[in-house]
Amino acid sequence: MERITKVMGKTILYIGNKLSSSKTNPTTHATLEEGLKAEGYKVISASPVRNKILRLSHMILVFFKNFRRTDYVLIDVYSTQNYWYAVLLARLSAAFSKKYIPILHGGALKDRFNRSPNSTKKLLKNAWYIISPSHYLKEEVESLGYLNVKYIPNPLFLQKYEFKERNKFQPKLLWVRAFDRIYNPLLALKVLKILLEKYPGAELCMLGPDKDGSLEICRKFAKKNNLPVKFPGKLKKSEWAKLSVHYDIFLNSSEIDNTPVSVIEAMALGLLYCFY
């Protein structure tokens, strides 16, 4: 109670990926927002708008409507086009003397920093703190000369995950991610195909929404090669957590990754983690 009293009244403006739909998995934005509110902070967040231009406009509008009563500005930083939202909001925060904290996401950020050194400087040089969910990204940012980097792992409410102790592991694979080329879902099926040569009882379940047509590509590959794979689609966290008891190995097929929440969730559920 003492800790909550200390932060009560503090207001956080959280700018980032608040998108949620049938085509996306839940992001860390909602989880962090929930945790901050539980600690006694008032959180104003943006943006849930899908159109990229309108989303940026909404972020700017929310900033100007609330910056005077805001104590801290949190800014999600991705390596994709969303990176430019972060740069602009960081510049606005600095211009109005607001303490802002970039939160780094994604293993491809190193490449983004190398491709956009000037904008990276504008983003990071005036940051109050820089938050990294992994030691890898922390070291990369520190190598650029920014030493105010804090390592904070991606948030997870462990009480929502029931750990299953597995004494024997079978080749029963679970894959949880959006069907998107950047996550290389086809590789998971190729792994299953190889496993079947030695373990004819191997099977795979691939959970997640289709983002760019990769799901249909995977379906066709599975059908062509007669692979024992299930595609249940997108499930709620609680639903796939219950489903996970029927599997022993969590498969991550991403070519570039940082510390995916799905991998942390798999560990919390007792699944053996494999990266290809």
pLDDT at 260: 80
pLDDT at 1: 32
User: Are residues 22 and 140 located together in one domain of the fold?
Assistant: yes
User: Are residues 176 and 47 located together in one domain of the fold?
Assistant: no
pLDDT at 27: 66
**In degrees to the nearest 10, what's the CA dihedral of 37, 90, 264, 143?**
-140
Give the global pTM.
0.76
* Domain-ending residue, one of 130, 155, 180: 155
Total domain count, the chain: 2
User: Are residues 107 and 201 located together in one domain of the fold?
Assistant: no
* Domain-ending residue, one of 110, 133, 155: 155
Higher pLDDT, 53 or 26: 53
User: Are residues 139 and 14 located together in one domain of the fold?
Assistant: yes
**Mean pLDDT to the nearest integer, 142-162:** 89
CATH number at 213 reads 3.40.50.2000
Q: What is the span of the domain harbouring residue 87?
A: 2-155
Q: Mean pLDDT, the chain, as a whole number?
A: 89
pLDDT at 170: 93
Q: What does residue 138 show for φ and ψ, rounded to 5 degrees?
A: -60, -45
Of 6-15, 175-184, 212-221, 232-241, which gets the smallest average pLDDT?
Answer: 6-15
User: Are residues 111 and 44 located together in one domain of the fold?
Assistant: yes
DSSP for 92-134, written as a single string: HHHHTT-EEEEEE--TTHHHHHHH-HHHHHHHHTT-S-EEESS
Q: Which of 272, 240, 275 is nearest to 168 (CA)?
A: 272
* pLDDT-based confidence at residue 117 (cuts at 50, 70, 90): very high
User: Are residues 165 and 205 located together in one domain of the fold?
Assistant: yes
User: Are residues 163 and 146 located together in one domain of the fold?
Assistant: no
User: Are residues 165 and 145 located together in one domain of the fold?
Assistant: no
Is 90 exceeded by the pLDDT of residue 208? Answer: yes
User: Are residues 67 and 111 located together in one domain of the fold?
Assistant: yes
Q: Are strands 149-151 and 203-207 parallel, antiparallel or unpaired?
A: unpaired
Q: What is the pLDDT of residues 71-104, one digit of tens each?
A: 999 999 998 888 999 999 999 999 999 999 999 9
User: Are residues 138 and 10 located together in one domain of the fold?
Assistant: yes
* Domain-ending residue, one of 155, 178, 207: 155
User: Are residues 145 and 11 located together in one domain of the fold?
Assistant: yes
Is 90 exceeded by the pLDDT of residue 193? Answer: yes
User: Are residues 7 and 133 located together in one domain of the fold?
Assistant: yes
Is 70 exceeded by the pLDDT of residue 226? Answer: yes
Give Cβ neighbours of residue 170 (< 8 Å, ≥ 6 apart): 201, 248
Helices (H), strands (E): how many in the chain? Answer: 11, 11
pLDDT at 25: 52
